[in-house]
Every structure is written in C-alpha cells, then in structure tokens.
Amino acid sequence: MKITKYAVAGTLESSDAMVTVEPNDVLEIEIESVVLAEYGQQIRCTVEQALRQLGVTAAKVHISDRGALDCVLSARLQTAVHRGKGID
C-alpha cells in the first residue's frame, strides 16, 4: 500500500509525537526523539510494526517524538497514514 499525499498527525507537545508521511518508492523511516539514546530501538520497532499492520510498504515517514508512549505513537502513525491515503 502506498501513501498518495503528504500528511501530518500529532504535535510537538510533551508525551506526543509528530508524524509526517509522504509518497516515496521505498519505505524510509526517520526518527528524532528526546529519548533516542535510551529508547531508539524500541521506537523503531513500534513504528515498523505499526506500519506493517497498516500495510504501508512504500513511504517516507518522519517521526519527531516527544516521549510518546507506544500506544500514542501508533495512533499518530495510523492517523498520518489514513490522511496520507485520503481515508477519513
């Protein structure tokens, strides 16, 4: 499944994450996080799992994490992907 348009979800507030997605030929994931050193690997796992569940195989995904829990990060990814695919 491909992302057809640029979309953003979430905020840069504490405990949240801002996720952007845009069309791309392959799946590229960029992560910025205030806790990258401690939880970078776990965040990447969460992101990859969420994208797999959403069926996203090609997109440029950027995450600016502000200490979001996994369930918050997954929700923001889902919103961004739905918006990027034009789903309400």
Partner 1 sequence: MRRTMLFLPGNSPNMIINGGILGADSIIFDLEDAVSPDEKDSARILVSSVLREMAFPGCEIIVRINGLDTPYWEKDVEAIVPVHPALLMPTKVSGADYIQTLSEKMALEENKCGIEEGSIGLIPLLETTLGIENAFQIAKADKRMVALYLGAEDLTADLRCKRTKQGNEIFYSRSRLVCAARAAGIEAYDTPFTGVDDLEGLEEDALLAKSLGFTGKAVISPRHVECVNRVFSPSAADIKYAKDVFNALEEGKRLGKGAVSLRGKMIDAPVVARARQVLESAEAIWGGIHQ
Minimum distance of partner 1 from residue 25's CB (angstroms): 27
Closer to partner 1 by CB, 31 or 66: give it: 66
Closer to partner 1 by CB, 13 or 28: give it: 13
Q: Is position 85 an interface residue for partner 1 (rule: CB under 8 A)?
A: no
Beta bridge partners of 17: 65
First to last CA, the chain: 17
Using the 8-state DSSP alphabet, how is residue 2 labeled?
A: B
Kindly identify the residues of this chain, within the stretch 8-47, that bind partner 1 according to CB under 8 A: 9-10, 13-16
Minimum distance of partner 1 from residue 47's CB (angstroms): 14
Residue whose C-alpha is closest to residue 59's, from 88, 37, 29, 33 = 29
Q: Is position 71 an interface residue for partner 1 (rule: CB under 8 A)?
A: yes
Structure tokens at 73: 């990060």
